[in-house]
Amino acid sequence: MCCQVGQTVFTSTTYSKIWGLAQTILAFVYWKRIEEDRAQNIETSINLCQKALKIRSYETNPQNWAEVQNILGLAYRDCIRDDKAENLELSIIHLQNALQVFILQKILNNGLGHSII
């Protein structure tokens, strides 16, 4: 509810970073939500992730982009509607996207980056 109120104050044009964060948090919350219509909650999560990716791009911040990719992958994995096989393929793509960033960051944070660059 708090994030939904924040959406009226922070827009994608006025406070894009905060708006992108709010979309990401809401996407996660809807993905985890078990009340009401589970299928609709997951679809809402997917839609929020797609909105967040308009602001949270790989080029501007790979970590933020990977977080959205991760939530999107989990949401597609759990998606009940539409073609299950297609949803699983989309899940794999988004989770692999996230994993590439997380692995690279782990390598760089452990001081191993100089050996592969």
Q: Whole-model pTM?
A: 0.82
Per cent of the chain over pLDDT 90 is: 72
Q: Residue 117: pLDDT above 50?
A: no
* Residue 75 tokens, joined: 């949401």
Per cent of the chain over pLDDT 70 is: 85
Residue 112 CB: number of other CB atoms within 10 A? 11
SS3 (DSSP) at 52: helix
- Please give the Cα distance from 7 to 42 (Å, whole number): 19
CB 51 within 8 A of CB 44: no
What's the DSSP call for residue 11?
Answer: -
Measured torsion, CA atoms of residues 31, 8, 19, 24, in degrees rounded to the nearest 10: 0
Please report which confidence band the pLDDT of residue 14 belongs to, taking 50, 70 and 90 as the band edges: confident
Which of 8-12, 64-68, 72-76 has the weakest average pLDDT? 8-12
Mean pLDDT of 69-88: 96
Mean pLDDT of 88-102: 97
